[in-house]
Every structure is written in structure tokens, then in C-alpha cells.
Chain A
Amino acid sequence: MSSVETATISAPRARLNLSAIMRLPFIPIFILSVLVICAIFGNQLAPHNPTALNLGMALKPPGWVEGGSWAYPLGTDNLGRDILSRIIAGARISVIVAIYAIIVSGGIGAVFGMMAGYFGRTVDTVIMRIVDIQMSVPALALALVLATLLRPSLSTVLIVIAITYWSWYARIVRAEVISLKQRDYVALARIAGVSTPVIFIRHLLPNIMNTLLVLATLQVGQVIIFEASLSFLGLGIQNPDVSWGLMLADARSYITVAWWAITMPGIAIMLTCLAANLFGDWMRDTFDPKRRQL
């Protein structure tokens, strides 16, 4: 018996080669880059001071509409503040919230997920029951409790994100680690006397990194919408700080006279989330193909 054809089985690791680069999602990357640039250099980029009141210029429509002025390309709100400048300024909160969620929720979730998966038994049961409890209180409901007890602010938003969003990572990381720890190299490392923290960092973490990154990008949109919802309800960012959700809350009373004040911040939220979701889908397809959906 001789095999006519030989099939080379390549390692299942995804590599970035030229064709992968050609398939990069350029538009989402562009939008996200603009967002980050606005978050860092917002003060220099904004044409006007985002918080300066100018009642004489209140409720000006966007530049292309009759009565509008190109000095305020996206119009002004009820207090005469430039909407474009406020959208640029609001990018900062969205980026802060997204990065914080990735680092804190991702970090907590990864650690607990690895512990639950690796140690199994009691540790697993305890951690997974905490996950269950956490998932039985909707994030927004928890935010309502905290907002009543503490003064609503960026920190209450961040506390709720830290308490809420880790459980998702923990569940998926746990499942991943349960299968990883069966592998020979983990067993051998343990027999060779490698300490548990080293096994976690050297042998488990690199293997779950792809999954973590994919989960994190897919979560960015959710977290940004969560912050916007809280700020819209008046339970998150407070004036004079600028947030897209807060802009929508301010504009709500003027819905009959100023459509642009309602529309523009929402488009900013939508574009950001769309870009983050598309980028996340691309990351998943490229780095974590087994989680790809049809």
C-alpha cells in the first residue's frame, strides 16, 4: 500500500500572511483609529470648546441645511454648544470605558476562568455559582442600585462594568482551559514540578490569548452602548463632562425642533459599535475559527 497523494496538515494556528492583510477590515479599522485619535487629541481637534455656552447660537441646524452655518458643521444644541466638538470630546469616555472593560473584566474573567477550569471540583463549583448569581442580576438593574446609593458618575459606571462583564469571559475561558489541561505539555509541566502560577502564565495564557482578544473586541460595542444608556438615564456621566449618551439626554427635550441634536450623537455611537463589531467578527474568523458562526 502506498499513498498516492500526500496531504500536508498545517498547524491550526492562524498566521498573518499577505492574503490575510489584504482581507483586513479597512473601514472598521479606520473608524476605530479616528475614535482613538479623537479620544487622545480631542482638545486640539475640536473646532470649538465643547462645553462653552453660546446662547446666541443655540439650536443652529447643520451646515448643509438652510439657516445653518459651516462654522458649526453638525449644528449646535440647545445651549449653543457645537455638536461636532462635543462628539469629538465624547469619544474619550467611550474609549476609556472600552479599554477599562477589556482590561478589568477581561483580566478578572481570565483569572477566574483559568482557576475554575484548571482546579476543577470545589473551586470550579464556587466560581461558576458566582457567575450564575452575577448573571441573574441584569447589569442595568445593578447600576440602578449603585446609582441610588452612590452619586452617579464615571466611577459608578466603571464599578458596574467590573462587576458585570467578567462572567462572560470566565465561562468561555473555563471551557477552553478544561480541554487545554488534558494536553500532555501541561501534565508534563506539572510532573516536572513547575509551579501553578507559571503553568498559568506560560502554558495556559498564551493559548487562551486569541479567545480573550476576540471576546474583548466583540464586547466593546456592548460596553459603549451600556455607558450611553446609563448616561442617557442620568445615571452615568454628568455635565459638564461630555458623553454621547448624555448629549442624547440633553437633546431629548428639543426633539421637535432640533432633529440633528438627536441624530448626530446616535450616529457616532452606531458607527463606533458597527466598526467594533465588524472588527471583532474579523478577529474571530481569523484567530478563532472554531467559534465562527454560519
Chain B
Amino acid sequence: MWTYILKRLLHGLFSIIGASLLIFVITRLTGDPVAMLLPPEATEEMVRQMRATLGLDRPIWEQYLIFASHALQGDLGMSYRWEMPALTLLLDRLPATIQLASAGLLFSISVAVPLGVLSAVYRGSWIDRVGKTLAMAGQAMPNFWVGLILILVFSVSLGWLPAYGSGTFRHLILPAIALGSYPVAAQTRIVRSSMLDVLDSDYIKMGRILGASESVLVWKYAFRNAAVPLITVLGVYFAAMLGGTFVVEVIFAWPGVGRTVVEAVFARDFPVVQAGVLFTSVVFVTVNLLVDLSYGVIDPRARVNV
């Protein structure tokens, strides 16, 4: 078990180092990093100072070590638009993004679980077909378009919910639906197929013979077991949600990490973009690592296949 955890930790560390290397190389390949890291109105003195800090006269691997050691100390450069450290800026915006991603995940599960369970129980019926169609449609719509249509219907036409901004629960509803609609399809499929497996098992048949009511059988006995595969992939979906927040946050003017980074792209505030991408990668790797580890705890067979 410990070797498994250690191995996975090393893999995760390796992925983060690799991601930083990828971003570093792309930055150095496409131009003068000093021009990117300093505001356009930087003085000669600032340029010289920056060149010295980055060690641009030294070999490329040494430059990477300088970059990495700065990053490890939490120094990802200064945002020249906000005039504060890029990392502090992102950490300020992180709670809003986590809130949105969690709400999106909650929405997708609360649709996928009933839909998946009912599709399995009434396999082949109209509800199974409705579930399939909904899931198919959800997977074919870009989340930013879902967001726009939600604004069109619920804000512009009906005037029920605010079209943008944050602060209250009402502000959270539309962005969460926009973000959560895409994974519904995959989650429904997972719940449905594991429910079908469980419903076919001996203890459910036994329960039925003993006269347990169908709803108790389905929800209390079958669903508890069928939920395990869904729980083990939730982390993966959470990480995927973080990727989706870039677009959804822009549409709903949600004050999170995604919108900050996209705005930084247009302001050419490169330290923030670089920090944002590194930051997203670290969160992504960490979440996946935690998922893998928990999977190893729940299902011993997974430990073998490192």
C-alpha cells in the first residue's frame, strides 16, 4: 500500500514538473520572455534587472531551475495590471471558482443519479429513452452556448434569474447548470450500467423473494453499491469542471480564476496567464492523485495496476 501511495505521489510530482517545463519551453520558444513579463512601458533599468533575475545569459537548464525555484517559493511574477503578485491574485479568486465548480458538479449529479437509476430500473422504457436523449443533447452542446440560452430564456425572456454577477444563490443557478450539463451524459451512463449490474445480483433477487418493497431495494440496497463507481470518478469530473470554468465564468461575469486568466490574456498580463495555467495544472494533478489514492483504498485491485 505504501509503495503504491509513494509511486503515485512521485507520478503526480513528475506531472507537475513536466507541466511547468512545457509552459517554460513554450514561453522561451515563442519570443523574448522579458518583453512578456514586463509591462510595455518598462524602463531600461527594469529590463536589465529582469534579465538578471531570470538569468537569461545562462544556459537554458539553469534558467529553468531559476524559474522553478521561484515558482516553488510562490513567486510567479507580478501582475502588472493588478500590481500584486500573480499567485495572490489567483488565490483571491479561487474560492469563487471552487464554489462554481462544486455547484456544477452537484447539478450534474442530481440530474444523473435519478436519471441513471430510473433508466436502469425501467430499462428500455420511455424514461430510459428520455434519459439517453437528454444525455446525448447535453454532450453535443458547448457549455458557453448552454449558458447563453439559459440567459436568453431565464433572464431576458422570463426575468427570473440574474444574467451575470455573483453574491447570492440566485446568481449561482444559471452558471452551475451551464457548467454541469456536459458531464450529465457520462455520469448517467456510469450510474445506469452499474445499477444494471447490481440489480442483477443475488442479494437483490433474495430481497425481492423476501418481499422487500421495490423502492427500498432500489434505493437502499442497490444504489448504495452502484454509487461506488460514480464516487470514484467524481474527482475527475471536478477537475474537468475547473477547465470548463474558463468559458462559463466569462459569460456570467463570475469573479473566479478562469475569468481572471482570460482577461489577463487580453491585457497581455503574461505573469497571470502563466501562473493561472500552472495553478490549474497543480490543482488538476492533485485532484486526480487524490482520486487515484481513494480508488486504491476502496478497490484493492486498482493498486496492482500502477
Contact = CB atoms under 8 A, between A and B. Distances in A.
Interface of A: 129-130, 132-142, 144-150, 221, 225, 228-229, 232-235, 245, 248, 252, 255-256, 259, 262-263, 266, 269-271, 273-274, 277-278, 293-294
B193 A266 contact: no
Interface in B13-42: 14-16, 18-19, 21-23, 26-27, 30-31, 36
B273 A144 contact: yes
A256 B284 contact: no
A52 B208 CA distance: 69
Contacts of B36: 148-149
Pick from B16, B193, B251, B262 the residue with the most CB of A within 10 Å: B262
Contacts of A138: 242-243, 280-281, 284
Interface in B144-174: 144-145, 148-149, 151-152, 156
Given A132-B14, A141-B243, A233-B262, A255 B26 contact: no
Given A137-B22, A145-B26, A266-B149, A132 B246 contact: no
Contacts of A255: 148, 151-152, 156
B31 A142 contact: no
B284 A270 contact: no
Pick from B27, B140, B193, B261 the residue with the most CB of A within 10 Å: B140
A168 B151 CA distance: 34
Contact of A145 (B192, B243, B246, B273): B273
B22 A133 contact: yes
B144 A248 contact: yes
A137 B14 contact: no
Pick from A233, A271, A293 the residue with the most CB of B within 10 Å: A233
A270 B141 contact: yes
Interface residues of B, number: 54
Given A130-B18, A136-B281, A137-B281, A266 B145 contact: yes
Contacts of B152: 255, 259, 262-263
B294 to A, nearest CB: 18
A232 B22 contact: no
Interface string B127-149: 00000000011011111110011
A232 B15 contact: no
Contact of A142 (B262, B268, B277): B277
Contacts of A233: 246-247, 250, 262
A178 to B, nearest CB: 12
Given A263-B152, A277-B136, A148 B280 contact: no
Given A133-B15, A248-B148, A277-B139, 14 more contacts: A129-B18, A133-B14, A136-B288, A138-B242, A145-B273, A232-B142, A235-B265, A255-B152, A259-B152, A262-B148, A270-B141, A274-B137, A293-B193, A294-B189
B235 interface: no
22 contacts: A130-B18, A132-B15, A133-B15, A133-B21, A136-B281, A137-B280, A141-B261, A141-B276, A141-B281, A144-B265, A148-B270, A228-B142, A233-B250, A233-B262, A248-B144, A248-B145, A259-B156, A262-B149, A263-B149, A269-B142, A269-B145, A270-B145
Nearest to A266: B145
A144 B276 contact: yes
B142 A225 contact: yes
Contacts of B270: 148-149
Interface of B: 11, 14-16, 18-19, 21-23, 26-27, 30-31, 36, 136-137, 139-145, 148-149, 151-152, 156, 189, 192-193, 196, 242-243, 246-247, 250-251, 261-262, 264-266, 268, 270, 273-274, 276-277, 280-281, 284-285, 288
A55 B239 CA distance: 44
A145 B193 contact: no
Given A136-B15, A144-B261, A277 B140 contact: yes
Contacts of B196: 294
B276 A232 contact: no
Contacts of B27: 145, 149
A271 B169 CA distance: 33
A270 B144 contact: no
Contacts of B264: 148
Nearest to B262: A233
B261 A150 contact: no
A145 B284 contact: no
